[in-house]
Amino acid sequence: MKAYLLVTGSIFALIGVAHLLRLVVEPGHGFSSDPWFFVHNFALFVVGGGIAVWALRPLAVLRSRSA
């Protein structure tokens, strides 16, 4: 169970960070010129980050119980 939570949380964290970096690295897509690019990547950053937190939080609880 711990390995599954760690792998799942890490993958979704990487997906969230990738979408955040895409917003920063691709400056040609401004909010005024292409609002869907911004909304799409920001939404996927929030969703990926939320799922990562949701997956890693039980892992932290399991660690605190075993310590």
* Residue 57 · residue 38 · CB < 8 Å: no
pTM value is 0.79
pLDDT digits (tens, 9 = 90+) for 35-52: 898 899 999 999 999 999
27-54 b/e (C-beta count within 10 Å ≥ 16 → b): eeeeeeeeeebeeebeebbeebbebbee
Domain ranges of the chain: 2-66
Task: pLDDT band for 67, please (50, 70, 90 cuts).
Answer: low
Q: What is the 3-state secondary structure (H, E, C) of 6-30?
A: HHHHHHHHHHHHHHHHHHHHCCCCC
